[in-house]
Amino acid sequence: MKSYQNLDELFYDLIESAEIEIKKSLSEYSKLYILNLLKKLAKTNDLFTNEFVKEMAIAEIFMEAFHRNLFEKINMLKLAGDLSLILSGLYPESLNKKLVDIDYYIKMGRSSYKELANIYANYSSKLDIMNLYVQLKREFLNLVEILTEIADELNFINRNNLSNIQLRWHKSGISKYKKILDENKIIPLYDNFTNKN
């Protein structure tokens, strides 16, 4: 196994390997963002211990953001987007206990990042931040695919629960789930992703 000097090297290598595996490239904005998000998760679980996460569902955090001052709104939308990204990509097995599935988190994440991009679009000095969230919204599904590849590499995906794998393939179109089905010689009941937007 390859050794790494620091988390940057490890996560960068995992992201690059996942990009090669799924034959998709992320923008530099998205790649840097996901790298920093993974590093933050590795060092602390702030994302999951946030006061809002303890008390509200992601949709509630998203909606509550629109009733807050600008600073809180930005933080809450970022939290909703980041949680959606991490849960749908890196921790898909945690969705087994939820009332909603991967398609919900993909929609919530994209919507959160879209709203952040819209906020920053009004401030010309914040053009790079606006571009970041535009890219995150556009590449959200690719980001989820990258994290799903990493999750599989880290054995975070239960490959034995083929009914969940099939359902996630149908709801997200993530190639890793199709690959697992193919490896098990299972032809999906649904052969297309129904929620592309």
Whole-model pTM?
A: 0.85
Sign of CA dihedral 86, 88, 90, 93: positive
What confidence tens digit (pLDDT) does each residue in 146-165 have?
999 999 999 999 999 999 99
Q: How far apart are CA 111 and CA 189, in angstroms?
A: 29
Q: Are 145 and 174 in contact (CB under 8 A)?
A: yes
> CA-to-CA distance for 35 and 33, rounded, in angstroms?
5
Q: Where are the domains of the chain?
A: 7-158
Query: Using CA atoms, how far apart are residues 97 and 153, in angstroms rounded to an integer?
Result: 22
Strands (E), 151-196: none
- Determine the residue type at 182: D
DSSP type of residue 93: G
pLDDT in tens, 75-84: 999 999 999 9
Condensed to tens digits (0 to 9), the pLDDT of residues 170-181 reads 999 999 999 999
Rounded Cα distance, 178 and 187, in Å: 9
What pLDDT is stored for residue 193 in this prediction? 55
- 3-state SS, residue 5: coil
DSSP assignment of 95-107 equals GGGSSS-HHHHHH
Encoded tokens for 122: 């009004």
